[in-house]
Structure 1
Amino acid sequence: MNPAPKEQTRFWQASALGDTEMLHARYFQQRFAPHVHEGYVITIIESGAQRFWHRGSEHLAPVGSMVLINPDELHTGAKASEEGWRYRGFYPDSERITGVLDELELKHDGLPRFDASVLHDPQLAKAFSWLHCSAERGASALEQQTAWREAVLLLVQRHARAGAARTPGNEPCAVARAKELMDSRLAYPPSLEELATAVNLSPFHFARVFRQATGLPPHAWLKQRRLSRARELLKSDCLPFNVAFALGFSDQSHLNRQFKQAYGVTPGEYRRACTH
């Protein structure tokens, strides 16, 4: 007799997202009794399917769909197929959602309420899945905080009928100051909130202003600047290990991957070509 497949869970708090609770789980036999959460539940079904009771009826969430539960709503959860289900879950406090709306000056009468229990929105699922993966691999606070705001805005505008966000204006001084600050802290980059405070804008408005001016979100601009600085150091005969350490890459292999993706050769190859 084959042993029952082992269930897997990883639960943590994402400090970059205000200690939002996160879960990456694969369940085969798990059955959630009726329960509620004080905040929202946002999950993405990665494989299999989930069946759950919510608002007086049964729902089916297939692979690629999202489950959305408002605060204090009673619900259950169980597998809908023999293979069980794997999903990524966010459990944000209400303030993590309303805070994004406040930053964008979107009017909301109390908490946003979502009507659908199961969402079939591939673009939205991709945005939240990418954010969850970024948090799990320990991406920078800057990257996570920007992606969170973009995903929440998309969620609310499509499924809670929120108003339109104000158009980002031309803020050259704010963009220039943010670039200076990031450039001075390549190894220990500031968070989105730190950058926004430094230029006296709300975090999300700043992120949109920066993208409009540069064509890149702040974390992507920072990545490009790190790689450009890495080239300068390698040309000066610095060892790749020292370059990775100096610029805040997690390790040399992290530098190798990003450098080769950008320039087609490894840092070692680049250094040898420039110094010999």
Structure 2
Amino acid sequence: MNPAHKEQTRFWQASALGDTEMLHARYFQQRFAPHVHEGYVITIIESGAQRFWHRGSEHLAPVGSMVLINPDELHTGAKASEDGWRYRGFYPDSERITGVLDELELKRDGLPRFDASVLHDPQLAKAFSWLHCSAEHGASALEQQTAWREAVLLLVQRHARAGEARTPGNEPCAVARAKELMDNRLAYPPSLEELATAVNLSPFHFARVFRQATGLPPHAWLKQRRLSRARELLKNDCLPFNVAFALGFSDQSHLNRQFKQAYGVTPGEYRRACTH
């Protein structure tokens, strides 16, 4: 095998998503023998193409497509070209899928079943790929849990003939309480599930209520509050390093990136302009 063609895998459990198993892999020689999973398989092909046997026939999953396997369905997996394939995979227990539907009180008859082995749905693939990248790079539980519910709802409604979710109502007290909780915990934000429990709503219903009221999902609102608070601290001559630490940014470069994206200048430039 060409030394440049080195297979790479990263496997982990996403604690924010109920320890859902995740895999980011680049394969050239790997051949999966016929096997089953107790839960679902949801993968996004990032490059190359995969060939696999499923439900009695061969399937081809090209770049940009998604592979979807229901629980306990026998399948294989191998490269479809010499270039192999790279993909991001989710392996959620059934409860991770059904729980989202139950939160929204969507009627269902047993487990959702998906008819297609290969999906060609760019918007859905983008949603799951973004979520996977976020989990891999340590995004907050609040962000991951919200994105998971939105992606699963989109998947089920488009490809498993689920019912429509009820329209989120107006819950001003719940939204105000959630804002207060996040404001008080900018450095260590609560998860979506913690916020929902605090306001006595199901997690997904709360997320939709919050978005309707503010125009933003909870994690994006939190990001804006962090940046607003960062400006206040910088105006008071706090060093960017201390600001990043105080507000829960992973490091100063994380603060720098988000601050410049929002305001067009670095925290250091902003501090100097406001204090000199």
Name the TM-score, length of structure 1 as normaliser: 0.99
Summarize deviations over 1:232-260 as a string: whole Å, max 9, x none.
00000000000000000000000000000
Summarize deviations over 1:180-235 as a string: whole Å, max 9, x none.
00000000000000000000000000000000000000000000000000000000
Summarize deviations over 1:55-106 as a string: whole Å, max 9, x none.
0000000000000000000000000011000000000000000000000000
Summarize deviations over 1:132-189 as a string: whole Å, max 9, x none.
0000000000000000000000000000000000100000000000000000000000
SS of equivalent to 1:166: coil
CA distance in 2, matches of 1:238, 1:65: 47
CA distance in 2, matches of 1:125, 1:199: 32
Moved over 6 A (4+): none
Q: Which residue of 2 aligns with 1:40?
A: 40
SS of equivalent to 1:25: strand
SS of equivalent to 1:180: helix
Percentage of matched positions with identical amino acids = 97
Summarize deviations over 1:37-72 as a string: whole Å, max 9, x none.
000000000000000000000000000000000000
Summarize deviations over 1:5-52 as a string: whole Å, max 9, x none.
100000000000000000000000000000000000000000000000
SS of equivalent to 2:43: strand
CA distance in 1, matches of 2:178, 2:54: 45
Q: Which residue of 2 aligns with 1:268?
A: 268
Give the superposition deviation at 1:3: 3.3
Name the TM-score, length of structure 2 as normaliser: 0.99
Q: Which residue of 1 aligns with 2:203?
A: 203
Give the superposition deviation at 1:4: 6.0
SS of equivalent to 1:196: helix
* Number of positions where the alignment pairs a residue of Structure 1 with one of Structure 2: 276
Stretches of structure 2 that go unaligned for 5 or more consecutive residues are none
Report the CA distance shift for 1:52/1:95 in structure 2 as closer, same or farther (over 3 A): same
Report the CA distance shift for 1:76/1:224 in structure 2 as closer, same or farther (over 3 A): same
SS of equivalent to 1:6: coil
